[in-house]
Amino acid sequence: MNKAENNLLTNSEVVFIIFGSMVGVGILALPASAAATAHEDGWITAIIGSVYPLYLIGICAYFAKKFPNDNILVISQKCFGRILGTILNFILLTFFVFLCASIATNYTNIIRTFIQGFLPSYILIALIFFVCAYTSTKGLKTIGKVSVVIFFTTVIIYFSPIGALKSASLLNVRPVIKSNIKDIFQGSLKTMFSYSGIETIFFIYPCAKDKKKFIKSSLMGLFIAVIVYTWVIFISIYYLGADIAEKNYWPFLLVTESVTVSIVNNFRYIFMFLWTLTVFKIVSNNYFISKVIMQDLFKKVNFKVLCYGMVPIFIYGSLRLDGFVESGLIEEKLTNYYVIFILTFITILALITLIKEGWKR
């Protein structure tokens, strides 16, 4: 096996990169927004919301078949021409910057509330991005390995409140699908955004070792994410009830703290430590993708310089989003726009390639 092949991603790395790009900071707050719109049927929205990533994976399967060695940046320049393609790629870059920035601000908000009130947020944000910049200088293979390791070390936090199953009652999640269908649909639109990060697949499929199994692996990653999201929403509503879950900012955290683990005295710090790892992972995954786009825009710049050079942009973006009320308002709007942009962008791209192919024949 030569060195180039060694740098390709194995199947399990693909699974956990995809899982790791989606699931991170959102799990704590997701039950609140799901319960606020779909009430006791909130957990169903996580399943319905997976339509969005499924659609993207479907289109990715088509691209992977047509252009097995080109990522989306090359395809977009091929289809839209050099100038328009570059502009669209740049918008894609801003999306990833926004994603990283919003994750980092949410993270600092929670960590400052619960355990590190003494640290100003800009220090935390700067630390996160320097660590992520360092990780992304090591390349995609390292990101893959880190994703696998972090998944297995932190999987316990998703299922730590399993003891709550005993102490609460199933009455809280009943009646099933008796609330308004419109409510469930609206809730699904909200949970759909928590799957953003799935866009990573368009950048990593050329790097997979086993290209035939790439789609299967990414579906596997999505499947694990759907299970985790559904479980997190379900257990929060199950333990607290839909009326109370929506009143908390981070209901999942309340559930984990209420379930006493007999050996561990204060589970909060262990939870926060492990959860910090998942946040670092999700930020570094998305940071790496932004670096890939940046590299495409500035081909001549040394990639290490680029990695560290991007840090100030991210810090600036995060600090712009700082503040609980402001960030909530901006994030909601921007995520809506970006999801619409990505859906149309990818769809048009797929259509153009389809038409071009027909033209050739």
Partner 1 sequence: MNKKKYFIIIAVVIIYTIISLGTEKISLEDLGIITGIGYDMKKVSPTEKKYIFPFSVYDFETSGKRSSHISVGEGRNVGETIETRQKQMNKTILQGLERTFVIGEVFAENGLKPILDERARNYQTSDMAFGAICKGKSEEILGMNIEGYGSSSEFIAGLIERQQGYNFFSQNYKVIDMLVRIDAEGRNLVMPYIDVQEGKIEIVGLAIFKKDKMIATTDLYTAKILNLLREDNVKGVLSYQKKPKEYTDIYVTSKRKVKCEKKQDKYTFTIDLKLTGNIASNTLYKDILTNLKDKEEYEKLMSKKVQDNCNEFLNKMKNEYKTDCLELGREAAAKYGRRKGIDWNEIVCNSEIKVNVKVIVNEQGRGDFIK
User: Applying CB under 8 A, which residues contact partner 1?
Assistant: 39-40, 113-114, 118-119, 123, 127, 171-172, 174-175, 178-179, 239-244, 247-248, 254, 257-258, 260
CA pseudo-torsion sign 21, 26, 31, 34: negative
- Least separation in angstroms between residue 114's CB and partner 1 is 6
Cβ proximity to partner 1: between 171 and 305 the closer is 171
Compute the distance between CA of residue 183 and CA of residue 180 in angstroms, rounded to an integer. 5
Q: Per the structure block, which two tokens stand in for 55?
A: 């659609």
Compute the distance between CA of residue 168 and CA of residue 240 in angstroms, rounded to an integer. 8
Cβ proximity to partner 1: between 120 and 312 the closer is 120
- Least separation in angstroms between residue 274's CB and partner 1 is 19
- Least separation in angstroms between residue 241's CB and partner 1 is 5
- Least separation in angstroms between residue 230's CB and partner 1 is 20
SS3 of residue 9 by DSSP: strand
Reported as half-sphere exposure (CB side, CA atoms, 13 A), residue 256 has a value of: 23
Cα angle 113, 188, 241 (rounded to 5 degrees) comes to 55
Burial (CB count within 10 angstroms: exposed 0-12, middle 13-18, buried 19+), residue 24: buried
Contact 198, 53 (CB under 8 A): yes
Type of residue at 351: L
Cβ proximity to partner 1: between 53 and 241 the closer is 241
- Least separation in angstroms between residue 26's CB and partner 1 is 19
- Least separation in angstroms between residue 124's CB and partner 1 is 9
Cβ proximity to partner 1: between 69 and 265 the closer is 265
Cβ proximity to partner 1: between 117 and 358 the closer is 117
Cβ proximity to partner 1: between 62 and 134 the closer is 134
SS3 of residue 298 by DSSP: coil
